[in-house]
Structure 1
Amino acid sequence: MKFATALLALASSALAAPPTPLAGREDKECMTRAEAADMVEIYRKLIAEYKAEDCEKYCAADFVDNSDSINSFLDQPLGGPTFATKEIFMEAQLSNPPFPVVVDSIAAVDCDVVALRWHATFGEAMKPSKGITILTNTKEAGYWQIKVIDVEFNSLTWLLDMGGNYTWDG
């Protein structure tokens, strides 16, 4: 019984204690949930309603986009950056049609990182391709900008929506 009482006392004191900042974040400004929602909307616009001026303003100078889902379409090595610079991303977005990205939820906000779930339904197959995106943000310019996009999605469904096909040999 003494063990249960001691455990209960420890648990209640831990709940009452103020949160301890994570290592390396003591002096770092963190996003509010509202700011995170704003960054998610900027991301959605970069994909669904691309305008170069949005990318110029809201993508950091050292921006990078990583996606093995996209790398598989572009015949690029898996595990490497998809768009290694802001300029390469901008050029790719100018040549891509807009995709109707619908944000399903903001799954987590952790200081300067936002995780979101989304889907896009379009094209020939009209099947929802679901995806997960992690946005790492920075406030070096005095306002929040996207520094890194890590995105993965159901690329086989996306392929069908783009009018492609695949054969399962299994």
Structure 2
Amino acid sequence: MRFTAACITASALVATAVAAPAPECNADQAPKEYNQHGRGYDISRVGRPGRPGRRVHAEHPTTAATLTFPATCTAVVTSIATETVRVTETYSYTVEPTSTSSPEYPSEDYNDCVTDEEADQMAEVFRQLIQDYSDDVALSALTEDFVDYASAVNILMNRGAQFPKNITGPTFDGRQAFMDGQGSQPKIPFERLNTFHGCRSVTVRWTTSRSANGQPTEQAMIPVVGIAVLDLVPAEPENEEYNWRIQTLYSEFNTLAWAVNLGLFTPAGPVDYINGTNTTAATVDKRSLDNYDPSLRGPMI
């Protein structure tokens, strides 16, 4: 009698199934198993007393083997789990840095960052531009395309109105515009409270108690606190004063306190007035293009 071995694909672990019992098979009826090491079929020793039957070799199985027996034998089905081999390939690559240099302000090293000392120097430049302004500092420390954003200043220029100065637009668009505006303003006392910096930015927290110093309408001395962010670019090699220059300035401060100090707003409670009296002018003209007085706008921080 001839037996066959049928192969099925195993996609998961399969439990062993045993058919209904039958008389023990004799040697002639013994099932055969495939020797995966190249020796063909061998005689199995299923049920032989004292030695358990040999099973299909499973050192490197790829399928489950099912053996078929005659009706007079005990059917034994051996399930062999399929081995799954996973191969993981690892790739490595280097991210090319995004260059922030430009032909006008070249930088040899993208990772070139502001040091603590340089950050302090640029924060001092910001203070000088407010308290001790000079064209020399502006020319050395500001880029030619310097832009200043300060909605606090813009709304003061509008006397509290939304127009005509664009509240969210640039206060000064260009270094020369800044020099023309700031250079014509009285100097005010200025104190740096904190200085923080990133790779190419410096943040200054500052205060002044005389924001309207030198203005003809100065009324009060309410302390004003503000914050400014200086966006920097590397200075040209020929710049003998600074390693960095300020390209963009973002500045905001307590506008209402500034307006009270300038005499543009009458407070509802007591404040520290200049000369000890409340001389806030109730007849201050509202903002208009016809009667706009640029001397009242305050320092252009």
CA spacing shift, 1:125–1:111, aligned 2, 3 Å: same
The separation in 2 between residues aligned to 1:41 and 1:27, in whole angstroms, is: 25
Q: Which runs of 4+ in 1 moved over 2 A?
A: 23-26
Q: Is the 8 A contact 2:260 2:267 kept in 1?
A: no
Alignment match, 1:113? 201
The separation in 1 between residues aligned to 2:262 and 2:98, in whole angstroms, is: 43
CA spacing shift, 1:166–1:63, aligned 2, 3 Å: same
Matches within 5 A, 1:33-72: 33-72=116-155
CA spacing shift, 1:128–1:43, aligned 2, 3 Å: same
Q: Is 1:133 matched up with 2:228?
A: yes
Tell which structure's C-alpha radius of gyration is larger: 2
**Residue 178 of structure 2 aligns to which amino acid in structure 1?**
F
Q: Is the 8 A contact 1:121 1:161 kept in 2?
A: no
Q: Is 1:73 matched up with 2:162?
A: no
TM-score (ref. length: structure 1):
0.79
Q: Residue by residue, what CA displacement relative to the aligned partner does 1:99-123 show, whole Å, maximum 9, x if unpaired?
A: 21111011x2111101111011114
Provide the identity percentage. 30
Alignment match, 2:193? 104
The separation in 2 between residues aligned to 1:53 and 1:46, in whole angstroms, is: 10
**Residue 202 of structure 2 aligns to which amino acid in structure 1?**
V
**Residue 127 of structure 2 aligns to which amino acid in structure 1?**
R
The separation in 1 between residues aligned to 2:134 and 2:180, in whole angstroms, is: 11
Alignment match, 1:20? none
Instruction: Return 5+ residue gaps in structure 1 as ranges.
Output: 1-22
The separation in 2 between residues aligned to 1:154 and 1:78, in whole angstroms, is: 15
Q: Is the 8 A contact 1:131 1:151 kept in 2?
A: yes
TM-score (ref. length: structure 2):
0.46
Q: Which has the higher helix share?
A: 1
Deviation at 1:167, TM superposition (A): 6.4
CA spacing shift, 1:24–1:73, aligned 2, 3 Å: same
Q: Which structure carries more relative contact order (alpha carbon 8 Å, separation 6+)? A: 1
